């Protein structure tokens, strides 16, 4: 095999193999460049080294400071966040990526992706599962795999993802369900303890079958009246699909009383529900306040109310397509396709509301018989 001179290229012999590396100088390392593995010594490794030389030359010409070493996993993620693909992702999706990146960046942010091997990824994943639980490990590895495909598209990596050899543990599916009486007591307890914004959020989440993020982000512009009752017209934060949050008479009275108590004028784009300090609820403040209201030893969450709505509706005879329209999700595959082209079906939403009442009565009677 012929030899050529490549700047900053060196070879090392390990276990009978001759491996090539692009080895930056001290000044280059201070600028953010790191040792990069080029693979088995030969023309392919030389080409990788020349790619790194090109990046170094580009840096010298521009002199742009970087947060992460050039060619690292962190640099790839920064590049991805500058694309239109990232900009068009829903806020909840971006939040999911950032939550996974918290684990990835800590361990691999400064590392060149071509140096990462299965043993490292496996140890990283196991440490998250052991320290933070199966759900966090599942999420972190999901984002890692998506990021790896992005790095391939951005030209950071060519080889298959080493994490594909890892079999992810699947988190246990949540099964918590609330009953109407329990929710009513939560609402009353929150209101009496002066968590009035929270009381309204609980009532709206229950009646409207909306997720916590959708409820806490509701604005005055989204609130309308359907006869004597309030209806919220929204675009779901997670899916972007149109949804209707319909309230019963008690929740309507509660929300109107709360809005009337708010000081000053309200812009249409202002968020409605606020915590005790007068600021709109965030994800953390909502979770913190709800934990206070639900009491010690209780593990069910505000998010479980959407599942509770579906359970009630099914018990009351609602069809999957109708429930899918109410929840604005893909419970029914056909409806998911249907909703791509047509607006939310108000008739289906009303049918689910009536089915929930029937299902609530049925569930209560079954519970009463069991207790006897």
pLDDT tens digits, 221-241: 999 887 788 988 887 656 666
Say how far apart CA 206 and CA 212 lie, in whole Å. Answer: 10
Does 174 have pLDDT greater than 70?
A: no
Q: Where are the domains of the chain?
A: 9-62, 73-164, 180-371
State mean pLDDT over 66-84. 85
Architecture (CATH level 2) of domain 180-371: Orthogonal Bundle (1.10)
Least-confidence region, from 7-21, 160-174, 316-330 = 316-330
The CATH class of 73-164 is mainly alpha
CA distance 350 to 328: 14
What pLDDT is recorded for position 349?
Answer: 59
Please report which confidence band the pLDDT of residue 14 belongs to, taking 50, 70 and 90 as the band edges: confident
Q: Say if residue 120's pLDDT is above 70.
A: yes
pLDDT number for residue 5 = 84
Given this model, what pLDDT does residue 337 score? Answer: 31
Query: In sequence order, which ranges of 170-303 are alpha helices (DSSP H)?
Result: 180-192, 196-208, 212-216, 249-261, 283-294
Q: How far is CA 305 from CA 48, 201, 203, in A?
A: 53, 11, 10
User: 197 CB contacts (<8 Å, ≥6 apart)?
Assistant: 258, 273, 274, 275, 276, 281
**Does the pLDDT at position 369 exceed 70?**
no
pLDDT surpassing 50 at residue 2: yes
Same fold: 73-164 with 180-371: no
d(CA 339, CA 342): 5
Contacts of 249 (CB under 8 A, 6+ apart): 228, 229
Q: What's the confidence (pLDDT) of residue 295?
A: 85
């Amino acid at each position: 095999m012929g030899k050529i001179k490549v700047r900053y290229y060196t070879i090392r012999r390990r276990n009978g193999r001759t491996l090539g590396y692009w080895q930056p100088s001290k000044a280059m390392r201070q600028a953010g460049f790191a040792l990069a593995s080029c693979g088995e010594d030969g023309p392919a490794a030389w080409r990788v080294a020349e790619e790194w030389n090109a990046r170094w030359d580009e840096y010298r010409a521009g002199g742009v400071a970087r947060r992460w070493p050039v060619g690292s996993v962190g640099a790839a993620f920064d590049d991805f966040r500058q694309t239109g693909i990232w900009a068009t992702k829903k806020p909840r999706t971006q939040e999911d990526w950032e939550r996974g990146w918290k684990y990835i960046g800590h361990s691999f942010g400064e590392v060149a992706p071509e140096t990462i091997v299965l043993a490292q990824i496996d140890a990283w994943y196991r440490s998250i599962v052991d320290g933070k639980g199966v759900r966090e490990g599942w999420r972190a590895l999901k984002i890692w795999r998506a990021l790896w495909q992005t790095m391939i598209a951005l030209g950071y990596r060519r080889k298959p993802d080493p994490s594909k050899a890892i079999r992810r543990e699947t988190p246990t599916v949540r099964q918590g369900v609330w009953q109407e009486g329990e929710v009513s007591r939560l609402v009353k307890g929150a209101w009496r303890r002066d968590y009035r914004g929270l009381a309204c959020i609980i009532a709206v989440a229950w009646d409207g079958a909306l997720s916590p993020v959708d409820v806490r982000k509701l604005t005055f512009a989204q609130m309308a009246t359907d006869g004597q009752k309030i209806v919220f017209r929204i675009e779901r934060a997670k899916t972007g699909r149109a949804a209707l949050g319909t309230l019963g008479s008690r929740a309507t009275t509660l929300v109107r009383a709360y809005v009337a108590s708010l000081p000053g004028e309200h812009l249409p784009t202002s968020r409605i529900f606020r915590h005790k300090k007068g600021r709109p609820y965030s994800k953390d403040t909502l979770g913190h306040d709800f934990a206070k209201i639900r009491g010690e030893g209780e593990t069910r969450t505000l998010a479980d109310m959407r599942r509770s709505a579906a359970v009630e509706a099914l018990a009351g005879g609602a069809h999957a397509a109708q429930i899918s329209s109410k929840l604005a999700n893909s419970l029914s595959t056909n409806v998911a396709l249907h909703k791509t082209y047509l607006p939310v079906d108000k008739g289906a939403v009303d049918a689910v509301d009536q089915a929930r009442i029937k299902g609530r009565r049925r569930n209560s009677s079954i519970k009463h018989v069991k207790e006897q």
